[in-house]
Amino acid sequence: MDIDKRTRQLSARLAYIRDIFGPRENASSALLTHRLEEFLNRAPELGVLDLRREVDRLEELFALLEGKLEDELTPMDRVRIVRHPQRITLKDILENVYDNYAEIGGQDEWSVDPGMLIARATIARRMGRKTVHQPVMVIGQEKGHGQEFRNGGSIKPFGNANALYYMRVAETENIPIHTYVFTPGAYPIEDYPGAAQQIARNLFQMAGLKVPVVSVISEGGSGGAEAIALADKRLMLSHGYYSVISPEGAAAIEAGLKKKADRRLIERCAERLKITAKDNLALGLVDRVIQEPALGARPDNYEFFRTLRREVIRATDEVVHAAQGLGPLRALVLRHRGGVDPQDIFVRWSLSSSAREALLIRRREKFRAMSAHAFVDNRSLGTRLAVGLARGLWQVHSLLRHDIFARYKRRLSGRIEQWEAELRALGLGMGSLLGRENGGACHGVPPEALSRLTTLSCPEEGVCRVEDRWVYVSPKSREDRTVTCPNAATHGCQDLWAPDLYGEFAGVCAHCGHHFPMEYQWYLYNVFDFAHAYEFNAELEAGNPLGYEGFDLKLAEAKRATGLGSSCITFETRMEGVAVVVAVLVAPFRGGTVGAAEGEKLIRAIERARIKRLPFFMYSHGTAGIRIQEGTCGVIQMPRVTMAVRRYIDSGGLYLVIYDTNSYAGPVASFLGCSPYQFAVRSSNIGFAGPGVIRQTTGLEVPPGYHRAFLALSRGHIQGIWDRRDLKKNLHQALLTMGGRNLYYR
C-alpha cells in the first residue's frame, strides 16, 4: 500500500483516539503522538525501505497501544465512541451485512423523519449450491456520520409512527424484523401524536407483533430506544451503551438543575448507571454481546460486519427455532455451532400460524423474567407459596365460572328471554283484541303514586342530602390561611380559604375550576374506598439493583417519609359494588418514578385482574418517569409492563388510566400511554419531557401550558378530562360502558 495513505490512516487513528479519550491525560496517546510526529519529521530523509519498516513498526505500536487503551476504556469513553461521527451507522450495516437492500419510506432528507431509516433487505443463504434470499425488514435510527438533517438519530413521533407502520407491514408479509438502535433518545416534542404517545403505541403493538424481532443496540437512549427495541432477541454491540438517561442528564440531576455538572461528575454518573454492554448482559437485559474491534467499530472494519452478520442470522434462527422448532439435525448444529457458519444451514424464517402464538408466549416469558432480582422481596416463603397456590386456584375458578359455566348460562338465559318475550307478545295481542284502551296520558295513575308526590321519597337515603362528601380530608384544610388561585388574574377568582378549598371543595377553585394538587390519600379514600380495600404485594419494595452510590440512603429516606416500600400501591377494592384492581403511582415517593419493584407490582396487579376477570384502573398521582438510579433495570419496565397490559387488553379486560398533577416520560410513553381509555384530572400535565429538558435537548422554547391536559386532549392522547369531584361517578360510568367483553360482571 502507498506509504502516504498509510500514514494518513495512522493520523486519523490518532485523532480518533484523542477524540475518544478527550482531554484526559493519557500516556499511550501521548506516546503515539510523539512517535508519529517524530516519524513525520524524519520521513523526508528516509529511503523507501526505511519508510516502510518505520510505518510497519508504527502500525504495530498503534495496534498494541489501541489494545491497551481498550482495556482502559471507561463507560464515558464508550459513550464518546458511540457518539463519534466515525461510528458505524445503519447505512454501513445495510451495505455490509445485508446482501441487498432498498430504502423505503423516504430517501435521505426527503423523509417523514430522516433519522428513522426503514429498508427492505435480503440475506442470502446457501443451501448446497442453491442460494436462497431471505427478506428482512430493517428498521433503525440513522445517525449518518454527522449529517445535520438526521438529527443525530433523535426520532420525532412521526418517525416512530412510520417505523410502527412498517412493522405491521412486516407482520402482514410474515418476514422477520431487524431493528438497529442508534439513538440518544426520542425527540421530546408534543405533536400529533406526541412523543410519549407514539412510543407507547409502538410498545403496545410490538408486544403483540407476530414475527421474529431481533434488535441490535449500539446507542440505546431510554424511551427512544424502547420504541423499536422490544424484541425476541436483544443483541448489543460491545462498545455500545444502553441507558435510562444520558450520563450528562444524570449528572445534571445529581448536581441540581441550576448548576452545570462538571466532567468528573458526568464520568462518575456514567459508571454508576451501568450502561455498558457487559453490565447490561450481567443484568440479563440483553441476550448477547457482539464483540467489536478495539476502540469500537468503524465503517472500514469489514471483519466486524461479518461477525455482525453471523450474529443476527444466528439470533433470528434461534428465535424461529424456539417458536416452531427445526429438524433435529439442524437443531443440534445450531446448539453446538462448532465452527459452522450459520448461513450455511438453511432456516425458513416465515412462521406458521401456531408458531406465531408460541413466539408471543416466548416473548412474554422472556420479558417477564427480566429484572427479577432488581427489587426487594420481603415476603416470607409461606406467603409466596400461598400466592402461587391462590393464583392457580383462581385460574381454575375463572376457567370454570367464566369460560364454561357463564357460556351455558348465557345460552340458557337467552332462550328464556325469547320465550318470555313471546308470551308477552301473546298477552299484548289478546289485550288489544279485547279492545282495551291503552292511551290517555293521565289516566290509570294509582293513588299511592299520587301520595308519593308529597311524601319523602327514598327515606333510606336519609333526610339530609347535604353532608360532608369526603371520607378523607386533607391535612392542609386545617390551616387558617387563604390561597390565591393561579387564574385569579385572568378569571377574577377570589382568594380561597384553605379549610374550604382543601376540605369541602376538594382542592378545586370554586370560581374557575382550577384543581390544586391533592395528596394521593385523598384519592385512595374518597375515590377508591381504600379503607375497605385489600392491598397486596406491599412487601415488594424498591431496591438499589445497580448499587448506585448514595442511593440507598435516599431510598431509605423516601420509605421513611412516606411509609411506603415503593411508589406503587396495588389493591383490590369495590366501586359501586364492582370489584376492581387499582394501581396507584404515588408522587411523594421519589417523584412517582417507576423502577423494578413498581414494574413487578404493576405486572402482578394486571395479572390478578386478568385471571379474576376484573377491571384494572391505573391512577397516576404523578410520575417523573423511570427511576434513573435503577438504570436499565428501570427502562426495561416499559416493555415489561406494556406486555402485561397488552395481554390483559387482548383477553378482554378494561384498562383505564387516570392522570393527575404531572405525568411525564417513561411510564406515559409505555404502559400508561398505551391504554385505550386515558383520562386526566383537570389542571394536570401530561407529556414526554418537561419544558426544561426540551430546551436543553432541542433548543426549542415551548409555549406555556405545552403539556396541559386540554392540549393532550386535542392531540388525541387522552380521551377526556374529569373533574376530581366527579371521579368516582365517572369511573362507575366507565365500568358500565367501557372495556372488553371478558369482565366478570358483564
Partner 1 sequence: MRIMAACARLGHEFICVYTGPDAASGHVRMAAELAGAGCLARIRSYQDPSELFAVADALGADAVHPGYGFFAEDFRFARRVRLRDRPLTFIGPSWNVIRDLGDKINTKRIARSLGVPTIPGSDRPIFDEMEAAELARTIFAFQLEQGIAEGCVLVKASAGGGGMGIEEVYDLDAFRSAYRRVRNYARRNLSDEGVLIEQRVFDFNHLEVQIAAERGGKNAVHFGTRNCSVQSLGRQKRIEAAPGFDPGSIDYAFDAASVLADITRHSVNMALAVGYDNVGTWEWIVTPRGEPFLMEVNTRIQVENGVSAAISRINGADGVNLIAEQIRLGLGEPLGYTQDDISFHGAAIEYRILAEDPQNRFTPGLGRITRFSWRAEPWLSVSTQVPTVLSGEPYDIPMDFDPNLALAIIRGDDLPQARARGEAFLDGLDLAGVDASGGPLCTNVAFLRARTQTLLRF
| Residues of the shown chain interacting with partner 1 in the complex, contacts defined by CB under 8 A | 441-443, 445, 449-450, 452-459, 461, 463-466, 480, 482, 494-495, 497, 499-500, 504, 723, 726
Nearer to partner 1 by C-beta: 175 or 473? 473
Q: What is the identity of the amino acid at 657?
A: V
Distance from C-alpha of 572 to C-alpha of 638, rounded to nearest angstrom: 23
Nearer to partner 1 by C-beta: 71 or 461? 461
Nearer to partner 1 by C-beta: 122 or 730? 730
Nearer to partner 1 by C-beta: 452 or 695? 452
Task: Dihedral sign for Cα 9, 15, 20, 21, please.
Answer: positive
Instruction: Provide, rounded to whole angstroms, the least separation between the CB of residue 736 and partner 1.
Output: 13
Instruction: Provide, rounded to whole angstroms, the least separation between the CB of residue 725 and partner 1.
Output: 9
Instruction: Provide, rounded to whole angstroms, the least separation between the CB of residue 480 and partner 1.
Output: 4
Nearer to partner 1 by C-beta: 5 or 465? 465
Instruction: Provide, rounded to whole angstroms, the least separation between the CB of residue 417 and partner 1.
Output: 20
Instruction: Provide, rounded to whole angstroms, the least separation between the CB of residue 737 and partner 1.
Output: 15
Task: Dihedral sign for Cα 525, 531, 535, 540, please.
Answer: positive
Phi-psi region of 185 (alpha: psi -120 to 50; beta: other; left: phi over 0): left
Instruction: Provide, rounded to whole angstroms, the least separation between the CB of residue 469 and partner 1.
Output: 12
Distance from C-alpha of 468 to C-alpha of 509, rounded to nearest angstrom: 18
Terminus-to-terminus CA distance in the chain, angstroms?
Answer: 78
Distance from C-alpha of 371 to C-alpha of 98, rounded to nearest angstrom: 33
Nearer to partner 1 by C-beta: 455 or 490? 455
Contacts of 264 (CB under 8 A, 6+ apart): none
Nearer to partner 1 by C-beta: 25 or 460? 460
Nearer to partner 1 by C-beta: 261 or 485? 485
Distance from C-alpha of 179 to C-alpha of 307, rounded to nearest angstrom: 17
Nearer to partner 1 by C-beta: 48 or 442? 442
Distances (CA, A) of 599 to 66, 159, 401, 450, 591: 41, 27, 30, 59, 15
Beta bridge partners of 250: none
Task: Dihedral sign for Cα 298, 299, 301, 306, please.
Answer: positive
Distance from C-alpha of 590 to C-alpha of 621, rounded to nearest angstrom: 12
Contacts of 623 (CB under 8 A, 6+ apart): 567, 585, 587, 591, 592, 593, 594, 662, 663, 664, 665, 667, 668, 672
Q: What is the identity of the amino acid at 466?
A: V
Nearer to partner 1 by C-beta: 433 or 458? 458
Instruction: Provide, rounded to whole angstroms, the least separation between the CB of residue 441 and partner 1.
Output: 4
Instruction: Provide, rounded to whole angstroms, the least separation between the CB of residue 449 and partner 1.
Output: 5
Say whether the peptide bond before residue 193 is cis (omega within 30 degrees of 0): yes
Element at 123 (helix H, strand E): strand 116-127
Instruction: Provide, rounded to whole angstroms, the least separation between the CB of residue 443 and partner 1.
Output: 8
Distance from C-alpha of 107 to C-alpha of 556, rounded to nearest angstrom: 52
Instruction: Provide, rounded to whole angstroms, the least separation between the CB of residue 210 and partner 1.
Output: 44
* Whether 287 contacts 293, CB under 8 Å: no
What is the 3-state secondary structure of 77-113? HHHHHHHCCCCCCHHHHHHHHCCEEEEECEECCEECC
Distance from C-alpha of 491 to C-alpha of 637, rounded to nearest angstrom: 42
Distance from C-alpha of 78 to C-alpha of 96, rounded to nearest angstrom: 23
Nine cell digits for residue 323: 417458536
Instruction: Provide, rounded to whole angstroms, the least separation between the CB of residue 463 and partner 1.
Output: 4
Instruction: Provide, rounded to whole angstroms, the least separation between the CB of residue 77 and partner 1.
Output: 59
Instruction: Provide, rounded to whole angstroms, the least separation between the CB of residue 637 and partner 1.
Output: 37
Residues in the chain: 746
Give the number of other Cβ atoms within 10 Å of residue 332's Cβ: 11
Nearer to partner 1 by C-beta: 223 or 503? 503
Nearer to partner 1 by C-beta: 150 or 724? 724
Instruction: Provide, rounded to whole angstroms, the least separation between the CB of residue 584 and partner 1.
Output: 25
* Whether 225 contacts 201, CB under 8 Å: no
Nearer to partner 1 by C-beta: 203 or 575? 575
Nearer to partner 1 by C-beta: 339 or 444? 444
Residue 158 in 3-state DSSP? Answer: helix
Instruction: Provide, rounded to whole angstroms, the least separation between the CB of residue 486 and partner 1.
Output: 17
Beta bridge partners of 581: 572, 616
Q: Could you tell me which of 653, 663, 649 has the C-alpha nearest to residue 619?
A: 663
Nine cell digits for residue 162: 412510520
Q: Could you tell me which of 367, 98, 331, 347 has the C-alpha nearest to residue 234?
A: 367
Instruction: Provide, rounded to whole angstroms, the least separation between the CB of residue 577 and partner 1.
Output: 17
Nearer to partner 1 by C-beta: 102 or 445? 445
Nearer to partner 1 by C-beta: 16 or 722? 722
Instruction: Provide, rounded to whole angstroms, the least separation between the CB of residue 416 and partner 1.
Output: 24
Q: Could you tell me which of 704, 591, 606, 596 has the C-alpha nearest to residue 657?
A: 606
Distance from C-alpha of 118 to C-alpha of 596, rounded to nearest angstrom: 32
Nearer to partner 1 by C-beta: 133 or 452? 452
Contacts of 609 (CB under 8 A, 6+ apart): 580, 581, 615, 616, 648, 653
Q: What is the identity of the amino acid at 149?
A: F
What does the DSSP 8-state code read for residue 626?
B
